[in-house]
Amino acid sequence: MTRIALIAHDEEKPEIIDLVYEYQEMLSTIDLVGTGTTGKRITEETGLEVERKKSGPLGGDLMIGAEIAENSLDGVVFLRDPLTAQPHEPDISALLRICDVHDTPLATTRSSAEFLLDGLARQFD
């Protein structure tokens, strides 16, 4: 089963909800995991089931990183806020790094997330 992570910083949460609505049909056929607040918001607003890790600042990014290290994830959509300093910046860097280490597809903006999800959808055709 295809499994992807959905994560967004607070300023980007409206954007990830909008993205999930856009790809709702496709996303309803795969396993979704997310950091705590992002996962909660997605489920509340779209009804999609999201396995929730801890909130990002409390270790959620690292928990998703651990799944990547175990090759459990096929992709990561991580809509970062590039204009606000985050208290857990080291955790964010660790997640980005482990995606690179395992060549796990990673999108950090809306347009690159659309490329990633379009690419995944093509695998189902």
Ligand X SMILES: O=C(CO)COP(=O)(O)O
Q: How many CB atoms lie within 10 A of CB 46?
A: 15
Closest chain position to ligand X (CB): 56
Q: How far is CA 124 from CA 1, 18, 26, 33, 70, in A?
A: 11, 22, 9, 19, 23
Instruction: Give me the least distance between CB of 79 and ligand X, in Å please.
Output: 9
* For ligand X, the closer CB: 57 or 105: 57
- 88 annotated as ligand-binding: yes
Is the Cβ–Cβ distance between 50 and 6 less than 8 Å? yes
Residues of this chain that bind ligand X (CB under 6 A)? 7, 9, 35-38, 55-57, 60-61, 92
61 included as an active-site residue: yes
Q: Which residues are catalytic?
A: 61
